[in-house]
């Protein structure tokens, strides 16, 4: 661990990726093991465990941790952990597994990813998980719907990972920017940064986002722009388009020596407040000391209050979380101030601030029109227009 950087959650980074020699042995063994084909979310979770992003986890949750996390947002040992990381299987798959045995974990394209030591097989208590994690049981909520569609059994145990990269997965792997926590920590050390603010995003960076990140840059040595490129919602802008947007805005509007772009291969849960805690702990593992928590972080629809994701941090001792949440108000462009403002920095005047809905922005892009410069930098808008008018 780099001197001066924040300690990983639980004290040390985990690493579940085996050596080449072990991988060769596991491939031979896997041919005779029962097989579990992972969903997109499960494959993302496997990668996050494998590279240490979900430290201190070493595998998928057992029954005691599942219950404790759902009820108390803690692992059995007391470590803060807000969302259970589970391996759900259907009845047919469950019938081929046995406690005390092992199973191969494969990507949907057939790539062997890992072997799991099956320590437990237990009922998937969705009635416990859903209302606690999501604060709703409405299956219109994408996170609730995803859990509802999962198998009725959960498999718990540590994993030994051969690879996190499928052989034939379509789309970009973003290899250049796919840094595990050990690599981001090394980059921070190389730059001489000791305090780093992380910005979570699954959208292109617009002017309000830029304002938040630059406020954070004023108080930290560096900024990690850390977009989520795992499974998101249908209708979200594709990851490759977003990556071009991030690179474009960094080149034109950020100081490269103070800014690092790296991707996080996690799946969205849309769990609002609990997911804000998870995102903070993950960035702590990546080496960040501060984490930007904006309006409706990790939310969807109207399921959570505007600042619920900020308020949830108040329920924990700051030392337990470790990373400092940077809590920002909603920001917008003020015509009178001629710049970005928030409720904390400028009086609200009728008709002064420019707000655009996501729907309105998409309509403008589809027509080949740029959103106002007060909302989006023109270079970013050009990238989005090319995507919107070609799809």
- Looking at the annotation, which residues are catalytic? 202-203
Which of 215, 323, 248, 241 lies closest to 279 in space, CA to CA? 323
Residue 340 is given by DSSP the state: E
Q: To which residue do tokens 């409706």 refer? A: 296
* Separation CA 77–CA 8 (nearest Å): 16
Strand partners, 199: 225
* Structure-derived torsion over alpha carbons of residues 274, 280, 285, 289, reported in degrees to the nearest 10: -160
| Maximum alpha-carbon separation in the chain | 70
SS3 content of the chain, % helix, strand, coil (to 5): 35, 20, 45
Q: Quick one: which of 89, 87, 115 has its CA closest to 102? A: 115
Please tell me the distance from the alpha carbon of residue 80 to that of residue 92, in angstroms, as a whole number. 34
Give the residue among 278, 364, 351 at the shortest CA–CA distance from 321. 278
What are the structure tokens assigned to 135, written together?
A: 């604060």
Cα–chain center distance at 115: 24
Strand (E) positions, the chain? 35-37, 59-60, 88-89, 102-106, 112-117, 120-123, 153-161, 196-201, 222-227, 259-261, 290-293, 324-327, 331-334, 339-342, 353-354
Write down the residue that tokens 């938040």 correspond to.
212
Spatial distance between the Cα atoms of 391 and 388, rounded to a whole number of angstroms: 6
The angle at the Cα of 383, spanning 382 to 385, to the nearest 5 degrees, equals: 60
Q: Please spell the DSSP secondary structure of 187-226, one letter per residue.
A: HHHHHT-S-EEEEEESS---HHHHHHHHHHHHHSSEEEEE
- Is-contact 26 96, C-beta < 8 A? no
């Amino acid at each position: 661990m780099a001197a001066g950087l924040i300690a990983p959650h639980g004290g040390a980074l985990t690493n579940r990726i085996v050596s080449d020699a072990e991988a060769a042995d596991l491939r031979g063994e896997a041919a005779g093991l029962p097989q579990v084909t992972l969903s997109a979310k499960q494959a993302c979770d496997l990668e996050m465990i494998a590279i240490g992003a979900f430290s201190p986890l070493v595998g998928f949750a057992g029954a005691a941790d599942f219950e404790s996390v759902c009820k108390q947002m803690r692992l059995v040992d007391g470590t803060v952990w807000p969302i259970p990381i589970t391996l759900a299987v259907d009845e047919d798959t469950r019938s081929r597994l046995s406690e005390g045995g092992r199973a191969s974990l494969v990507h949907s394209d057939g790539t062997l990813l890992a072997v799991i030591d099956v320590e437990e097989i237990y009922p998937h208590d969705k009635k416990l998980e859903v209302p606690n994690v999501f604060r709703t049981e409405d299956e219109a909520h994408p996170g609730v719907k995803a859990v509802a569609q999962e198998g009725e059994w959960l498999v718990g145990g540590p994993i030994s990972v051969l690879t996190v990269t499928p052989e034939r997965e379509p789309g970009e792997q973003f290899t250049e920017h796919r840094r595990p926590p050990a690599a981001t920590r090394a980059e921070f050390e190389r730059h001489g940064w000791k305090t780093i603010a992380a910005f979570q995003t699954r959208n292109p960076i617009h002017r309000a986002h830029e304002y938040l990140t630059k406020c954070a840059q004023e108080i930290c040595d560096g900024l990690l722009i850390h977009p989520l490129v795992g499974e998101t919602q249908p209708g979200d802008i594709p990851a490759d388009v977003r990556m071009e947007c991030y690179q474009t805005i960094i080149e034109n509007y950020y100081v490269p020596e103070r800014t690092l772009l790296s991707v996080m291969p996690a799946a969205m849960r849309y769990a609002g407040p609990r997911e804000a805690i998870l995102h903070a702990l993950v960035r702590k593992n990546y080496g960040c000391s501060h984490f930007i928590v904006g309006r409706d972080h990790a939310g969807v629809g109207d399921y959570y209050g505007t600042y619920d994701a900020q308020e949830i941090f108040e329920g924990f001792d700051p030392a337990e979380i470790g990373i400092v949440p940077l809590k920002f108000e909603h920001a917008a462009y003020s015509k009178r101030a001629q710049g970005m403002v928030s409720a904390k920095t400028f009086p609200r005047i009728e008709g002064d601030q420019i707000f655009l809905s996501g729907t309105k922005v998409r309509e403008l892009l589809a027509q080949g029109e740029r959103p106002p410069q007060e909302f989006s930098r023109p270079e970013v808008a050009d990238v989005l227009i090319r995507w919107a008018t070609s799809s």
